[in-house]
Chain A
Amino acid sequence: MKEVVILSGKGGTGKTSIVASFAALAQNKVLADCDVDAADLYLLVEPEVKKSEEFWSGQVASIDKEKCTECGLCQEKCHFGAIRDYTVDEVSCEGCGLCSRVCPVDAITIKPSITGYWFISDTRYGTLVHAKLGIGEENSGKLVTIVRNNAKLVAEERKLGYIISDGPPGIGCPVIASLSGASLALLVTEPTLSGIHDLERVLALCRHFGIPPVVCINKYDINEENSYRIEDYCHKEGVEVAAKVPFDNVVTEALVHCLPVVEYSSNGVALQIKELWQIILAKLDNHGGRDANL
């Protein structure tokens, strides 16, 4: 089974629009939305939820004031500065449980709670595994891992060859959870200085975890000079620029109609994305293309 994860570093470069188009173009696949704290893919593929599960994670410490002797050991030992004046700051608390272990009078408990949900849904493009992290919650990485593991299970059960994963922006915890063990990473960038800077960092992340990358320059004609810079940089780094997609308002129009752009139009953008999918498919299928290791 092969998995391509679509990342970008910088947000808003067009990841989800491209994934939705891949969903329409690809056969024999499962979709996974790994952007669990601002998921948008559902808007374009209209999932019908078949299975919904609770995500238990957000553990925070809670101090029993009756038992607490205000010895201060917990505040002293906490590595996150999350206890002040014998009170837990729930935002800073990571739920590691060190405080409850050090408390000499057993006044601290760690309470798990439901911090999100994950779903397996039917869409007109096949199965989608997706999730919703509760507002402002932690551990998005764990939820991403659950989404990917279930996408893999579905693919195995139904004998589907590919997983297409829509990743979150950034390079932190949920991105690492989306990337590790994937067969291929498609990095969608744009020809802005911010886009270039963020591409460099997400490319370094791919290297760090040994995932082969390919690059797509979206809206390449917004600044052609910067696009050349990106191509130059990728060439030096030995990374293939697999597509250059032009800027076109049709992408936003398709979005407003809640359709993948390849189904809304057949212009240059749609053609480029179709070609890009063929390139990705060839990379996943060739002998060097490795199976996803989830």
Chain B
Amino acid sequence: MVISVASGKGGTGKTLVATSLALSLEDQDNVQLLDCDVEEPNDYIFLKPSFTRREAVVILAPKVDAEKCTYCGKCAEACHWNAIAVIKEKVLMFPELCHGCGVCAYVCPEDAISEEEREIGVVELGQSGGVQFAQGTLAVGEPLSPAVIRKVKECSDREGIVIIDASPGTSCPVVEAIRDSDFCLLVTEPTPFGLSDLCLAVEVVKKLQIPCGVVINRVGVGDEKVESYCHEQGIPILLKIPLDRRIATLYSKGIPLVEGMPEWREVFSKLFRDIKEMSVAGQVAK
């Protein structure tokens, strides 16, 4: 079973929820946590895993042979991302725009463009207690997070329990992280920002046809509009986490919630059981 944790708005508590859920299940067989927030992976801070494997994520980036190049400009014309410019007798490459698609090499009439592997990130695998852990890290200055996310997800074992921590937002990295999930937990906060971004996140999971439920974090400050929205839309609110300075302090120190306040372990185990039940019921309904 694959459960992804997403949010729309950043900083609502995805990492808190994903790590707490994984750690509360560590007594079960085959539990995985995959940190797919590859631009800013943070789960490792809480799980403190020992990494045993490291795999580079590479794309094929173009390289121009100046001897062969006639500066015809066909490569620049064909590039979908304006990552190559030909100005008089000079070819300018903008690696931060290049997606590594290979069109430039294909269209070059002089065969002057070769493709070389460029490392754009890394996937690391390890273990933390009873949880198998994998994370992707996008190299600084590289734009292509989906390629790294795909590589992290190759580690997933759908026979077991897979928890996926996604990045904030609603665009391609989020879609890449949560697609093919059996269930998506949407973490939000009871503020106008939280609500606005929750609405967007709900549209994403609907488009991908993934069943979802909501976790409201920092309940106590803010307003009631997130709850009203969930009731109107018929989206279950599966958990409310109060605004509690103790929780914030544990988080700031990198201490997992279920370790610092063990009473939360059962809360998250129950959250998992609820999701599982809903998921089974959903399959029966289908």
Q: Residues of A at under 8 Å CB distance from B? A: 8-13, 16, 37-38, 40, 43, 59, 77, 79-80, 91-92, 94-98, 101-102, 133, 135-138, 140-141, 168-176, 180, 190-195, 197-198, 201, 204-205, 208-209, 222-223, 226, 249, 252-253, 255-256, 258
Q: Decide: A135 and B207 in contact? CB cutoff 8 A.
A: yes
Output the least CB separation between B173 and chain A (Å): 7
Q: Decide: B145 and A173 in contact? CB cutoff 8 A.
A: yes
Q: Which residues of A contact B12 (CB under 8 A)?
A: 11-12
A-B contact pairs, 19 of them (CB 8 A): A37-B169, A38-B9, A38-B170, A43-B193, A96-B99, A133-B171, A136-B175, A136-B207, A169-B167, A170-B173, A171-B40, A172-B39, A173-B145, A175-B39, A192-B254, A201-B39, A204-B140, A252-B222, A256-B191
Whether, in the assembled complex, B11 has its beta carbon less than 8 Å from a beta carbon of chain A, the answer is: yes
Per-position contact with A for B161-186: 1 when CB-CB < 8 Å, else 0? 00000011111111110010000000
Q: Decide: B169 and A168 in contact? CB cutoff 8 A.
A: yes
Q: Which residue in B40, B191, B197 is a CB contact (below 8 Å) of A10? A: B40
Whether, in the assembled complex, B144 has its beta carbon less than 8 Å from a beta carbon of chain A, the answer is: yes
CA A249 to CA B243, docked complex, whole Å: 10
Q: Which residues of A contact B248 (CB under 8 A)?
A: 222
Q: Which residue in A37, A168, A194 is a CB contact (below 8 Å) of B15? A: A194
Q: Which residues of B contact A249 (CB under 8 A)?
A: 221
Q: Which residues of A contact B42 (CB under 8 A)?
A: 10, 193-194, 197-198
Q: Which residues of B contact A198 (CB under 8 A)?
A: 40, 42
CA A12 to CA B200, docked complex, whole Å: 16
CA A256 to CA B192, docked complex, whole Å: 6
Q: Decide: B197 and A40 in contact? CB cutoff 8 A.
A: yes
> Could you tell me which residues of chain B, from 1 to 43, have a CB within 8 Å of some CB in chain A?
7-12, 15, 38-40, 42
Q: Which residue in B45, B96, B103, B207 is a CB contact (below 8 Å) of A194? A: B45
CA A77 to CA B102, docked complex, whole Å: 9
Q: Which residues of B contact A92 (CB under 8 A)?
A: 150
Output the least CB separation between B270 and chain A (Å): 26
Q: Decide: B143 and A141 in contact? CB cutoff 8 A.
A: yes
Whether, in the assembled complex, B286 has its beta carbon less than 8 Å from a beta carbon of chain A, the answer is: no
Contact status of A170 and B170, CB under 8 A, knowing A79-B59, A193-B253, A194-B42:
no
Output the least CB separation between B233 and chain A (Å): 15
> Could you tell me which residues of chain B, from 99 to 116, have a CB within 8 Å of some CB in chain A?
99-103, 106-107
Quick one: which of B170, B200, B254 has the most chain A CB within 10 A? B170
The residue of chain A having its C-beta at the shortest distance from the C-beta of B217 within the complex is: A12
The residue of chain B having its C-beta at the shortest distance from the C-beta of A168 within the complex is: B169
Contact status of A172 and B143, CB under 8 A, knowing A11-B9, A192-B251, A193-B253:
yes
Output the least CB separation between A200 and chain B (Å): 9
Q: Decide: A97 and B78 in contact? CB cutoff 8 A.
A: yes
CA A239 to CA B253, docked complex, whole Å: 23
Known: A12-B11, A204-B140; 19 extra A-B contacts, CB below 8 A, are A10-B42, A11-B10, A12-B168, A91-B172, A94-B101, A133-B170, A135-B200, A136-B208, A140-B172, A169-B167, A171-B140, A172-B143, A176-B141, A192-B251, A201-B39, A208-B140, A223-B249, A226-B253, A255-B192
Q: Decide: B192 and A96 in contact? CB cutoff 8 A.
A: no
Contact status of A173 and B168, CB under 8 A, knowing A43-B196, A96-B103, A136-B208:
no
Q: Decide: B169 and A101 in contact? CB cutoff 8 A.
A: no
Q: Which residues of B contact A135 (CB under 8 A)?
A: 170, 200, 203-204, 207
Q: Decide: B144 and A173 in contact? CB cutoff 8 A.
A: yes
Whether, in the assembled complex, B84 has its beta carbon less than 8 Å from a beta carbon of chain A, the answer is: no
Output the least CB separation between A81 and chain B (Å): 8
Output the least CB separation between A162 and chain B (Å): 24
CA A133 to CA B204, docked complex, whole Å: 12
Whether, in the assembled complex, B54 has its beta carbon less than 8 Å from a beta carbon of chain A, the answer is: no
Whether, in the assembled complex, B152 has its beta carbon less than 8 Å from a beta carbon of chain A, the answer is: no
Whether, in the assembled complex, B60 has its beta carbon less than 8 Å from a beta carbon of chain A, the answer is: yes
The residue of chain B having its C-beta at the shortest distance from the C-beta of A94 within the complex is: B99
Q: Which residues of B contact A258 (CB under 8 A)?
A: 192
Contact status of A252 and B191, CB under 8 A, knowing A98-B103, A101-B107:
yes
Q: Which residues of B contact A137 (CB under 8 A)?
A: 171-172
Output the least CB separation between A252 and chain B (Å): 5
The residue of chain B having its C-beta at the shortest distance from the C-beta of A140 within the complex is: B171
Whether, in the assembled complex, B80 has its beta carbon less than 8 Å from a beta carbon of chain A, the answer is: yes
Whether, in the assembled complex, B266 has its beta carbon less than 8 Å from a beta carbon of chain A, the answer is: no
Q: Decide: A172 and B10 in contact? CB cutoff 8 A.
A: no
Q: Decide: A38 and B253 in contact? CB cutoff 8 A.
A: no
Contact status of A12 and B252, CB under 8 A, knowing A98-B103, A172-B39, A197-B42:
no
CA A95 to CA B85, docked complex, whole Å: 19
Q: Which residues of B contact A94 (CB under 8 A)?
A: 80, 99, 101
Q: Decide: A40 and B171 in contact? CB cutoff 8 A.
A: no
Q: Decide: B102 and A169 in contact? CB cutoff 8 A.
A: no
Q: Which residue in B100, B176, B203, B204 is a CB contact (below 8 Å) of A79? A: B100
Q: Which residues of B contact A209 (CB under 8 A)?
A: 141
Whether, in the assembled complex, B76 has its beta carbon less than 8 Å from a beta carbon of chain A, the answer is: no
The residue of chain A having its C-beta at the shortest distance from the C-beta of B191 within the complex is: A255
Contact status of A38 and B252, CB under 8 A, knowing A79-B101, A194-B15, A252-B191:
no
> Could you tell me which residues of chain B, from 142 to 159, have a CB within 8 Å of some CB in chain A?
142-145, 147, 150
